Structure 1
């Protein structure tokens, strides 16, 4: 039987291993903020459903790109998925993003 403490400890170990693969979990958000700042863009209206979905897809895509980059250039071995899996996942999110724009 699992205890609250054992579940939290297992979750912490998973977090550490995944964070090692993906890098700092703040990087995608910081990247999006830098892009918006560079463009001197207006704040994104997240009450707009299209915008909310699009930001989510950009975040997922950046997660996968950063993970693939880390696997290719920064790490000898990944803890979970392969670099190829990260590229394949990103291509799926890119296809979803294209479909979002095709269905406007």
Structure 2
């Protein structure tokens, strides 16, 4: 399983636009073939910083999402809202403790 973490920073005036867009697309993203989990986090010390945290069946599944019309629509809407360049990490999930 591939874990994808994306860090995004927004101008204050764009945060509501981002949150509305996430609310309107989160179920589509989560339902995308190969996506098994999706969460959104907000930084405790800097409220303009957000993280998405998602699980993908494989790197191929994530790549298919990044090539999809859904991704183009979502990213096209939020890309102009950024105050910093987004950062992304992919990691292999090794273990979960309950």
TM-score (structure 1 length as normaliser): 0.30
Q: Where is the helix percentage greater, Structure 1 or Structure 2?
A: 1
Larger Rg: 1
TM-score (structure 2 length as normaliser): 0.31
Higher relative contact order (CA 8 A, sep 6+): 2
Q: Where is the strand percentage greater, Structure 1 or Structure 2?
A: 2
